[in-house]
């Protein structure tokens, strides 16, 4: 019995090690053994590997089992899925928001970022509220979360006629994000919008031209024609010395 327990721990440890190093072929073997013995972390890693290999059904099943074992990352994964799903009922959506808020209030910066998304994009049937979104993003920004920095910069650049409008603050945040991710067309698009909001259309045009270059099919495999058109519309506005106007409360 003691020997078997030690074996399970060994497989779980090897599952963790090889998953983290990206050696999925070896990780899969060890994760499967540990997962079959109800090791929640291994079930989660196994699910992630199935998802990344295109086996969605198996991936979701393993992550669901991991969540049932109480593994936090799996529970978090399930909660995000419920927030984004258009098929969950109102009660389940409400529970997902409350669960994410629990994570956020406990200080999890990723959860704080997702709470911001809930109110910026109206996930899970929640009413759009830039003010509420900004509150949660700021908590995540204070912990160095770059995705939250980007989204908060977007709000500061576009929230005209409100106390949230802060082009200078938007530029400051967007510069921090693009310094870390200089080849992200999405993050650079936010920086360009911030420059335009401040009235610096020269920098807005220059930055948006970089956005379009990075989003070209030769540079971005998954960039759609619709996305390119979206970016081009922004560039056209900046060339006309116009800033973006987007209704943040839809």
Q: Write out pLDDT tens, residues 90-131.
A: 999 999 999 999 999 999 999 999 999 999 999 999 999 999
Alpha helices in the chain (DSSP H): 2-20, 24-36, 40-52, 56-68, 72-84, 90-105, 109-121, 130-141, 146-158, 167-180, 185-198, 201-214, 225-239
Which pLDDT value is given to residue 245?
Answer: 87
Which pLDDT value is given to residue 128?
Answer: 93
Asked if residue 83 lies in contact with residue 118, where contact means CB atoms within 8 angstroms, the answer is yes
Quick: pLDDT tens for 217-245: 999 999 999 999 999 999 999 999 999 98
Asked if residue 65 lies in contact with residue 46, where contact means CB atoms within 8 angstroms, the answer is no
Of 44, 82, 80, nearest in space to 65 by CA: 44
For the entire predicted model, the pTM comes to: 0.86
Of 34, 24, 83, nearest in space to 55 by CA: 24
Alpha-carbon distance of 213 to 186, in angstroms, equals 12
Domain with CATH 1.25.40.10 in the chain: 1-70
Q: Which CATH superfamily is domain 1-70 in?
A: Tetratricopeptide repeat domain (1.25.40.10)
Asked if residue 192 lies in contact with residue 211, where contact means CB atoms within 8 angstroms, the answer is yes
Which pLDDT value is given to residue 249?
Answer: 59
Which pLDDT value is given to residue 246?
Answer: 77
Asked if residue 42 lies in contact with residue 72, where contact means CB atoms within 8 angstroms, the answer is no
Asked if residue 41 lies in contact with residue 71, where contact means CB atoms within 8 angstroms, the answer is yes
2: Cβ contacts below 8 Å, ≥ 6 apart? none
Tens digit of each residue's pLDDT, the chain (250 residues): 333 445 668 999 999 999 999 999 999 999 999 999 999 999 999 999 999 999 999 999 999 999 999 999 999 999 999 999 988 899 999 999 999 999 999 999 999 999 999 999 999 999 999 999 999 999 999 999 999 999 999 999 999 989 999 999 999 999 999 999 999 999 999 999 999 999 999 999 999 999 999 999 999 999 999 999 999 999 999 999 999 987 675 5
Q: Phi and psi at residue 224, in whole multiples of 5°?
A: -85, 165
Secondary structure (DSSP) of 136-168: HHHHHHTTT-HHHHHHHHHHHHH-TTSTT--HH
Alpha-carbon distance of 233 to 243, in angstroms, equals 11
Could you please state the CATH topology (level 3) that the domain comprising 145-250 is classified under: 1.25.40
DSSP 51: H
Query: How many Cα atoms sit within 13 Å of 38 on the Cβ side?
Result: 4
Which pLDDT value is given to residue 189?
Answer: 98
Alpha-carbon distance of 57 to 38, in angstroms, equals 19
Alpha-carbon distance of 195 to 201, in angstroms, equals 7
Q: What is the number of other CB atoms lying within 10 angstroms of the CB of residue 22?
A: 8
């Amino acid at each position: 019995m003691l020997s078997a327990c030690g074996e399970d721990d060994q497989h779980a440890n090897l599952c963790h090690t090889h998953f983290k190093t990206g050696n999925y072929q070896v990780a899969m073997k060890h994760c499967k053994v540990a997962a079959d013995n109800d090791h929640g972390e291994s079930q989660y890693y196994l699910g992630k590997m199935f998802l990344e290999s295109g086996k969605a059904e198996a991936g979701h099943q393993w992550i669901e089992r991991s969540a049932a074992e109480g593994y936090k990352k799996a529970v978090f994964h399930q909660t995000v899925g419920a927030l984004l799903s258009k098929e969950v009922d109102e009660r389940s959506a409400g529970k997902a928001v409350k669960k994410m808020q629990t994570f956020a209030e406990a200080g999890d910066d990723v959860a704080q970022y997702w709470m911001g998304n809930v109110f910026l994009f109206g996930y899970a049937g929640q009413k759009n509220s830039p003010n509420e979104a900004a509150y949660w993003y700021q908590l995540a920004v204070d912990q160095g979360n770059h995705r939250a920095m980007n989204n908060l910069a977007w709000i500061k650049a576009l929230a005209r006629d409100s106390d949230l409008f802060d082009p200078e603050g938007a530029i400051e945040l967007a510069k921090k994000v693009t310094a870390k991710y200089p080849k992200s067309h999405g993050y650079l698009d936010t920086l360009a919008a911030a420059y335009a909001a401040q009235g610096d259309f020269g920098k807005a045009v220059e930055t948006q031209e970089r956005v379009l270059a990075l989003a070209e099919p030769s540079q971005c495999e998954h960039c759609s024609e619709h996305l390119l058109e979206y970016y081009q519309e922004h560039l056209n506005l900046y060339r006309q010395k116009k800033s973006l106007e987007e209704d943040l409360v839809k």
